[in-house]
């Protein structure tokens, strides 16, 4: 589309040299630039491709095997350049055939200079309007597609939340009912066992709600970053030590760093969520226990975190969907999960202009790598 601050560039296609020169002179006098003057259909197509004019004035009868209509059709189809026909032939058959190039106007020879200028101006403005309409339609279609996708995601989200809530709610209901009607005949140990089931169900529901709220906050742009100076190795050591206490003796959670004295600026709250999610997954999907490692590596103003486990691994065909909302790998079996943690983790990483990668093999284990840029000192 031509820039309204510059002169529109016109390609003149006319097989009569004197007529072509007269038209070109008239166009220049009216404030247009000439991108070329050619007398054949083949040259018209080549010139349109090379010079990208804003409009083509096309004579219908031309020298060579390609007439003006065929050339106009090729130019319109290949380069989306608007066409205005110039012709001495106004018969119905010619007019019907010429429509294949969707011309913006016809000039019947002989025509006056005022008629030429008016036709070109109307054609250029109509073409500009058509392009803006196409752009608006594409934007509308894109927004509609996004709205449909968002609606489907919300529907899936509600379905998933409802499904995930049913199990712990059922446990709470049954346990409360049994405590109310039969606990008088139970031992203290059995009563405490039922209370523990209720607490576990509540914790399960709370975790799901926390993930759902976190995902909503990230996707709506309500979560803001707050980078602070932190002793990164100490931060990660304390985090892994806390997880070790909860995981039990069957796991050995170790933290390593290429620089144990590095102070960096990162958002500690967001970083904690990312690392806890990845480490918790490593624990959860290593049901037999074993070694879990958190490795910290530096490269310039970037830090990489690697979480490695020797767990069940992720099938190759599932790895492309592992960051999709609600997706769970086919080999997780009875291991609990809601399929939201990695979705949130990925969005939190990308929110900081970072990247997350996965390398995994079934039965061997998984390694998640997160790279984050280090914020400059304020």
Query: Is 33 part of any domain?
Result: yes
Query: Is 144 part of any domain?
Result: no
Query: Is 88 part of any domain?
Result: yes
Render pLDDT for 81-101 as a digit per residue (tens, 0 to 9).
988 988 876 666 666 766 665
pLDDT at residue 222, as a whole number:
66
Say whether pTM exceeds 0.95: no
pLDDT at residue 161, as a whole number:
65
Same domain? For 352 and 244 the reply is yes
CATH of the domain at 66: 3.40.50.2300
Same domain? For 89 and 207 the reply is no
Q: How many CB atoms neighbour CB 285 within 10 A?
A: 20
pLDDT at residue 329, as a whole number:
83
Same domain? For 48 and 98 the reply is yes
CATH of the domain at 213: 1.10.287.130
pLDDT at residue 221, as a whole number:
67
Q: Given 164, 184, 219, which residue is the final one in a domain?
A: 219
Structural domain that includes position 349:
228-373
Same domain? For 195 and 307 the reply is no
CA distances (Å), origin 149, targets 16, 52, 139, 164, 278: 57, 38, 15, 22, 27
Same domain? For 210 and 245 the reply is no
Rg, the chain, Cα only: 35
Same domain? For 253 and 351 the reply is yes
pLDDT at residue 175, as a whole number:
85
Cα 270 to Cα 262: distance, rounded to the nearest angstrom:
19
pLDDT at residue 254, as a whole number:
95
Q: Tens digit of pLDDT per residue, the chain (378 long)?
A: 455 557 899 999 998 888 889 999 999 999 999 999 998 889 999 999 999 999 999 988 787 788 888 888 899 889 989 889 888 766 666 667 666 657 777 787 888 888 888 888 888 888 888 888 888 888 888 888 777 776 776 666 666 666 667 777 888 888 888 888 888 888 889 889 889 888 888 877 777 777 677 667 666 666 778 899 999 999 999 999 999 988 889 999 999 999 989 999 999 989 998 999 999 999 999 989 999 999 999 998 999 999 999 999 999 998 888 887 767 788 887 777 666 788 889 989 998 999 999 999 999 999 999 999 998 886
Number of domains making up the chain: 3
Phi, psi of 224 (to 5 degrees): -110, 150
Query: Is 91 part of any domain?
Result: yes
Query: Is 130 part of any domain?
Result: no
Same domain? For 172 and 257 the reply is no
Same domain? For 14 and 105 the reply is yes
Q: Given 219, 241, 260, which residue is the final one in a domain?
A: 219
28-43 b/e (C-beta count within 10 Å ≥ 16 → b): eebebebbbbbbbbbb
CB 350 within 8 A of CB 293: no
Query: Is 142 part of any domain?
Result: no
Same domain? For 282 and 315 the reply is yes
Cα 44 to Cα 337: distance, rounded to the nearest angstrom:
64
Same domain? For 347 and 233 the reply is yes
Same domain? For 246 and 211 the reply is no
Q: Given 179, 202, 219, which residue is the final one in a domain?
A: 219
């Amino acid at each position: 589309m031509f820039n309204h601050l510059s002169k529109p560039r016109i390609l003149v296609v006319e097989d009569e040299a004197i007529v072509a020169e007269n038209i070109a002179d008239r166009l220049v006098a009216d404030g247009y630039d000439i991108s070329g003057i050619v007398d054949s259909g083949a040259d018209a197509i080549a010139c349109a491709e090379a010079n990208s004019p804003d409009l083509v004035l096309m004579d219908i009868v031309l020298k060579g095997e390609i007439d003006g209509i065929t050339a106009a059709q090729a130019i319109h189809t290949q380069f989306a350049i608007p066409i205005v026909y110039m012709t001495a032939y106004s018969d119905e058959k010619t007019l019907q055939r010429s429509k294949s190039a969707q011309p913006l106007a016809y000039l019947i020879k002989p025509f006056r200079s005022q008629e030429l200028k008016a036709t070109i101006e109307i054609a250029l403005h109509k073409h500009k309007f058509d392009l803006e309409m196409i752009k608006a339609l594409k934007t509308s279609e894109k927004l509609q597609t996004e709205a449909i996708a968002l609606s489907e995601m919300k529907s899936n989200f509600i379905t998933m939340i409802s499904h995930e809530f049913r199990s712990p709610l059922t446990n709470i209901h049954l346990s409360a009912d049994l405590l109310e009607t039969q606990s008088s005949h139970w031992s203290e140990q059995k009563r405490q066992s039922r209370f523990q089931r209720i607490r576990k169900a509540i914790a399960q529901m709370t975790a799901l709600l926390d993930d759902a709220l976190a995902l909503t906050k990230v996707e709506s742009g309500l979560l803001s970053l707050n980078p602070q100076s932190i002793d990164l190795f100490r931060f990660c050591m304390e985090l892994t030590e806390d997880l070790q206490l909860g995981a039990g003796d069957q796991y050995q959670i170790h933290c390593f760093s290429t620089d144990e004295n590095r102070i960096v600026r990162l958002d500690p709250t967001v970083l904690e969520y990312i690392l806890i999610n990845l480490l918790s997954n490593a624990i959860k999907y290593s049901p037999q226990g074993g070694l879990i490692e958190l490795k910290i590596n530096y490269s310039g103003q970037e830090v990489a975190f690697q979480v490695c486990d020797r767990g069940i691994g992720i099938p190759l065909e599932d790895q492309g969907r592992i960051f999709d909302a609600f997706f769970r790998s086919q080999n997780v079996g009875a291991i609990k999960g809601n399929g939201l943690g990695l979705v949130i983790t990925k969005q939190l990483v990308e929110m900081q202009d970072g990247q997350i990668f996965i390398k995994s093999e079934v039965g061997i284990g998984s390694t998640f790598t997160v790279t984050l840029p280090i914020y400059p000192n304020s």
